[in-house]
């Protein structure tokens, strides 16, 4: 894979993305995924959801889901369950944390197995990380300051070489 | 008949405050633009091409520039020129468009925030300062561009590419791994053929003309002969294979000739050329 510095995301079927709920219209939510159109998400597309047992989704919530339908002729459709009906890590992303936007190439780099950046960061402090193929990253660490530090390092990974990143992390863990 | 002008703004990338950036880009583009010159005589209208007459700038009376203010916590905090992150959490936005004569062209409040009089006045004072700076920047850039175009230097996109130094595109020195090079070199030398026989003696023809060795034989004559032979034998053979055959023939011929070292040296096989060795104090004849 050649990491692309591309910023604009184009929905692809099967891609897992982070979306922001913008409209709650009865049975269907509209989710902003950073593409040219908003994706639609049905309230039944969550694990264990029935007509009586509806998921607690509010406008402004972050959703981690995958595209069921994504072509250039229709508005994309996303779901938070896989083909077996299990959530498999998808669903509503919890409270707090910080959402940032990076280039699509960086996301692919971070998703590679045994990514050095992630390994180096995990030496620093424990944190939760969700990577969306649409260029969005959600980070949550124990304190706001730790979260912001991780966010800054992830953003600057676009431009820093491995050397510079290791220097920066060494300075941080020294403190 | 009137002129119609269209301004297209393409947003490639942004980190917030698109309105201000777009207004600066738009007004700079309009001031920089040149339209074809026109002369009107009664009913007759002549439009001159850029080659006939220099294009003329638009008549721009003033340069309105937008400045944006982001408000937080019900007007307690005010940020000029908010970034993307600041815009995503602001309560509301106030945009003031002003020109350098301190005339307000536009005020727009986005987000429905409640603002007090003196807040708006403060914002307009800040705007006046900013607009003066920005207008001067744009003017300087336009003047610089005009000067560079007249002098024939680089302008526009070409200006951004520096190449005034020979080393502008020099690649950094790359480290070469020289481990094991010695063994590799020795191996290659051991496997290589020994160098050809060296002719230690120089044959002196006349004072000033000497010959060492025999040199490579002229193979042009051989080429013509063998091509005729092969054309008769096999048709449609490629030139490459024909040449290969000729080379092996030459190699054989050379090997034969080397054994006859003691014989008189022939400088050229060709019968067409007349070879004359120059003697000093003699008239120069035909030379090879």
The CATH number of whichever domain residue A111 belongs to comes to: 3.30.1370.10
The verdict on residue A3 lying in a domain is no
Domain count, chain B: 1
Quote the percentage of chain B above a pLDDT of 90.
40
The verdict on residue A1 lying in a domain is no
pLDDT of the residue at A26? 83
Contact assessment for residue A55 and residue A46, using Cβ atoms and an 8 Å cutoff: yes
| Tens-digit pLDDT profile for residues B194-203 | 776 665 677 7
pTM assigned to the model: 0.62
ipTM: 0.73
Could you write out the DSSP letters of every residue in B228-254?
Answer: HHHHHH-SS--HHHHHHHHHHHHHHHH
Closest CA to B116 of B80, B82, B74, B70: B74
B264 vs A39, more confident? A39
Cα dihedral B242, B245, B249, B252 in deg (nearest 10): 160
The verdict on residue A5 lying in a domain is no
- CA–CA gap between residue B83 and residue B85 (Å, rounded): 6
Tell me, what DSSP letter sits at residue A127? E
Whether B245 has a pLDDT exceeding 70, the answer reads no
The verdict on residue B190 lying in a domain is no
B48 to A125, B43, B264, B265: CA distances (angstroms): 70, 16, 82, 79
| Tens-digit pLDDT profile for residues B77-120 | 999 999 999 998 999 999 999 999 999 999 999 987 888 899 99
The verdict on residue B122 lying in a domain is yes
Closest CA to A41 of A17, A59, A65, A9: A65
The verdict on residue B66 lying in a domain is yes
Tell me, what DSSP letter sits at residue A10? -
Closest CA to B67 of B22, B14, B112: B22
Residues A106 and A81 in one domain: no
B277 vs B52, more confident? B52
Q: Which residues contact A132 (CB under 8 A, 6 or more apart)?
A: A16, A17, A18, A19, A64, A107, A138
List, for chain A, all residue ranges whose pLDDT scores fall below the cut of 70.
1-5, 175
Q: What is the CATH number of the domain that holds B23?
A: 3.30.230.70
The verdict on residue B146 lying in a domain is yes
pLDDT of the residue at B221? 64
pLDDT of the residue at A136? 95
- Mean pLDDT, chain B, whole residue set: 78
Categorize the per-residue pLDDT at B19 as very low, low, confident or very high, splitting at 50, 70 and 90: very high
Q: Which residues contact B114 (CB under 8 A, 6 or more apart)?
A: B74, B75
Centroid of chain to Cα A40: 17
B285 vs A142, more confident? A142
- CA–CA gap between residue B131 and residue B63 (Å, rounded): 9
B191 vs B140, more confident? B140
pLDDT of the residue at B152? 83
Residues A87 and A19 in one domain: yes
Whether B159 has a pLDDT exceeding 80, the answer reads no
- Range(s) of the domain holding residue A104: 98-173
Domain count, chain A: 2
B149 phi/psi in degrees, rounded to 5: -65, -40
The verdict on residue B165 lying in a domain is no
pLDDT of the residue at A165? 87
Look at the block and give the residue holding tokens 């003196």.
Answer: B118
- As to burial, measured by CB atoms within 10 angstroms (0-12 exposed, 13-18 middle, 19+ buried), residue B217 is middle
Residues A22 and A83 in one domain: yes
The verdict on residue A165 lying in a domain is yes
Contact assessment for residue A65 and residue A47, using Cβ atoms and an 8 Å cutoff: no
The arithmetic mean of pLDDT across residues B41-63, rounded, is 92
């Amino acid at each position: 894979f050649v990491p692309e510095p591309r910023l604009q995301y184009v929905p692809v079927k099967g891609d897992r993305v982070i979306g922001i709920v913008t409209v709650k219209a009865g049975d269907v939510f509209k989710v902003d995924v950073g593409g040219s159109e908003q994706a639609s998400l049905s309230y039944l597309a969550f694990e264990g959801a029935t007509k009586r047992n509806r998921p607690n989704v509010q406008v402004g919530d972050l959703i981690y889901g995958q595209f069921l339908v994504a072509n250039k002729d229709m508005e994309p459709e996303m779901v938070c369950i896989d083909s077996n009906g299990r959530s498999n890590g998808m669903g509503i992303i919890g409270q707090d944390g910080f959402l940032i936007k990076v280039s699509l190439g960086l996301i692919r780099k971070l998703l590679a197995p045994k990514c050095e950046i992630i390994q180096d960061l995990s030496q620093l402090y424990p944190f939760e990380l969700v990577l969306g193929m649409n260029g969005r990253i959600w980070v949550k660490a124990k304190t706001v300051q730790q979260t912001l530090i991780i966010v800054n390092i992830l953003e600057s990974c676009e431009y820093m070489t491995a050397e510079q990143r290791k220097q920066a992390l060494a300075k941080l863990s020294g403190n | 008949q009137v002129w119609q002008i269209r301004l297209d703004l393409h947003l490639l990338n942004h980190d917030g405050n698109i309105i201000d950036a777009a207004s600066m880009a738009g007004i700079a583009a309009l001031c920089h633009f040149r339209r074809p010159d026109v002369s009107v005589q009664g009913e007759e209208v002549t439009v001159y091409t850029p080659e006939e007459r220099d294009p003329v700038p638009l008549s721009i009376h003033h340069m309105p520039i937008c400045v944006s203010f982001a408000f937080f916590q019900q007007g307690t905090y005010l940020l000029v020129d908010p970034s993307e992150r600041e815009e995503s959490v602001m309560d509301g936005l106030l945009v003031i468009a002003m020109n350098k004569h301190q005339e307000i062209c536009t005020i727009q409040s986005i987000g429905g925030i409640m603002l007090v009089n003196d807040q708006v006045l403060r914002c307009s004072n800040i705007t006046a300062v900013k607009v003066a700076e920005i207008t001067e920047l744009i003017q300087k850039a336009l003047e610089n561009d005009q000067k560079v175009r007249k002098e024939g230097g680089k302008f526009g996109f070409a200006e951004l590419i520096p190449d005034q130094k020979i080393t502008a595109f020099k690649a950094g020195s790359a480290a070469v791994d020289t481990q094991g090079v010695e063994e590799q070199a020795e191996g290659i030398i051991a496997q290589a053929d020994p160098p050809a026989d060296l002719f230690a003696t120089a044959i002196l023809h006349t004072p000033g003309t000497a010959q060492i060795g025999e040199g490579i034989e002229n193979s042009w004559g051989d080429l013509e002969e063998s091509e005729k032979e092969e054309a008769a034998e096999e048709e449609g053979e490629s030139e490459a294979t024909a040449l290969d055959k000729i080379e092996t023939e030459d190699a054989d011929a050379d090997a034969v000739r080397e054994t006859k070292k003691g014989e008189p040296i022939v400088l050229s096989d060709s019968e067409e050329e007349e070879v004359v060795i120059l003697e000093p104090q003699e008239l120069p004849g035909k030379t090879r």
